[in-house]
Amino acid sequence: MKVKDLIANLGFESVHEGEPDREISSVYCCDLLSWVMGRASADSAWITVMGNMNSVAVAVLADISVIVLAENAPIDSAALEKAKQQGVNILKTDKPAFEAGLLINNGL
């Protein structure tokens, strides 16, 4: 499944589409950045409520396909700017992390 399919088929809302054709191969949920760095697989959809600059850096460095902000968690403007510069995909949903993860996983 591609990042753009989350928007078109599963009702996720676009915050920034840096690379909408990027493939998603798994799902990872966590808000602690070092856990994400250490455990999330490359090309995963990462579900979090942590919308800061450092989340964007983690997504870039760990080759994460898309950041999904659960429960409409906010992203600060510096982080959004960084995501635009680096071509990072960011989506949001009103669903809690577990439900969002389940939805994506069922679509894989």
Partner 1 sequence: MSALEMRYEVPGNDFTRAGEASSAIKNKLKQMGIPPGVVRNVAIAVYEGEINMVIHASGGTIDVFVDSDAVSLVLRDTGGGIPDVELAMREGYTTAKEDIRSLGFGAGMGIPNMIKYTDEFKINSEVGKGTVVEMKVYLEK
| CB nearer partner 1, residue 10 or residue 57 | 57
Q: Considering the complex, what minimum distance in angstroms separates the CB of residue 6 from partner 1?
A: 23
| CB nearer partner 1, residue 50 or residue 90 | 50
Q: Considering the complex, what minimum distance in angstroms separates the CB of residue 3 from partner 1?
A: 19
Asked if residue 87 lies in contact with residue 17, where contact means CB atoms within 8 angstroms, the answer is no
Q: Which residues bind partner 1 (CB under 8 A)?
A: 31-35, 37-38, 42, 50, 52-55, 57-58, 60-63, 78, 86
The tokens describing 99, both together, are 């439900």
C-alpha 52/C-alpha 24 separation (Å) is 22
| CB nearer partner 1, residue 53 or residue 102 | 53
Which residues 6+ apart lie within 8 Å of 77 measured at CB? none
Q: Considering the complex, what minimum distance in angstroms separates the CB of residue 31 from partner 1?
A: 6
C-alpha 107/C-alpha 59 separation (Å) is 21
